[in-house]
């Protein structure tokens, strides 16, 4: 059995997410790296041209100022689209939480590809299958707490960022273990996302 519902974020969950946001120093560092990279890209062609066709000092100063101004503008534009900054902004725009509750007694394990975390397929008993993957499962599996007969996944609704994962039932062994996904599988989009409910019967997982 599986059920999904949404609610507003509570204070404890909000504090947890706030603690993960990038520091001001991190933001400045990322902006500075962009500014340096763009400035170098714009200056190198100018320096090469100036070597063979010298530009008057006064004109040279104006060109450098213009190029640096362009670098700043491009860095600001690029920073707004920085995945970390964009993710934080998206997180702030929606305070809804998604909760997935599942009761099951059947699971299939898939090996971890390159430290992405182990993954499991869970039978939802309604013709669908819940897919979970992440390093948060590694510890639970090692401690013999997962797969579990009853658990609850708590994450943000829009960004799907994990907030908490609670096991509430009993541990059981997976029925079988599949090989890890290959990099080709990732490139072709064959790999489900963590928390995705697949429209495929559990028996057909292979």
Tell me the per-residue pLDDT of 86-142, one tens digit each, with 9 for 90 and over: 555 555 556 788 999 999 999 999 999 877 899 999 999 999 999 999 999 999 999
**The pLDDT value given to residue 40:** 87
The CA-atom distances, in angstroms, between 84 and each of 31, 45, 95, 159, 178 are 12, 31, 18, 12, 33
Q: pLDDT class for 28, splitting at 50, 70, 90? A: confident
More confident residue, 140 or 18: 140
Is 198 in contact with 120 (CB distance < 8 Å)?
no
Distance CA 54, CA 178 (A): 65
Decide: helix, strand or coil at residue 95.
coil
Q: How many CA atoms lie within 13 A of 76 on its CB side?
A: 5
What is the model's pTM?
0.67
**Token duo for residue 119:** 């993954």
More confident residue, 197 or 9: 197
**Token duo for residue 137:** 């499962």
Tell me the per-residue pLDDT of 150-202, one tens digit each, with 9 for 90 and over: 999 999 888 888 889 999 999 999 999 999 998 888 888 889 999 999 999 99
Residue 183 host element (H or E): helix 183-187
More confident residue, 108 or 27: 108
What Rg do the C-alpha atoms of the chain give, in angstroms? 25
Tell me the per-residue pLDDT of 47-70, one tens digit each, with 9 for 90 and over: 787 777 787 877 777 888 888 888
Is 91 in contact with 159 (CB distance < 8 Å)?
yes
**The pLDDT value given to residue 80:** 66
Alpha helix positions (H), 4-146? 11-20, 24-52, 57-80, 83-93, 135-142
**Token duo for residue 51:** 């070597």
**The pLDDT value given to residue 192:** 93
**The pLDDT value given to residue 57:** 76
């Amino acid at each position: 059995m599986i059920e999904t519902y949404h609610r507003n974020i509570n204070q404890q969950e909000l504090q947890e997410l706030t603690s993960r946001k990038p520091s001001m120093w991190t933001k400045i560092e990322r902006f500075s790296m962009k500014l340096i990279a763009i400035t170098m890209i714009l200056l190198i062609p100018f320096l090469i041209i100036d070597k063979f066709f010298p530009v008057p000092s006064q004109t040279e100063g104006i060109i450098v100022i213009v190029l640096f101004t362009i670098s700043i503008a491009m860095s600001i534009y690029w920073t707004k689209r920085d995945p970390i900054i964009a993710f934080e902004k998206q997180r702030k725009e929606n305070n809804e939480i998604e909760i997935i509750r599942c009761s099951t007694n059947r699971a299939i394990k898939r090996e971890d590809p390159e430290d992405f975390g182990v993954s499991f397929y869970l039978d939802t008993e309604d013709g669908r299958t819940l897919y979970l993957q992440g390093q948060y499962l590694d510890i639970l599996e090692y401690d013999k707490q997962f797969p579990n007969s009853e658990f609850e996944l708590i994450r943000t609704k829009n960004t799907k960022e994990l907030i908490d994962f609670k096991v509430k039932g009993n541990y059981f062994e997976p029925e079988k273990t599949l090989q890890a996904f290959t990099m080709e599988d990732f490139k072709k989009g064959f790999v489900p996302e963590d928390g995705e409910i697949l429209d495929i019967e559990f028996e057909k997982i292979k």
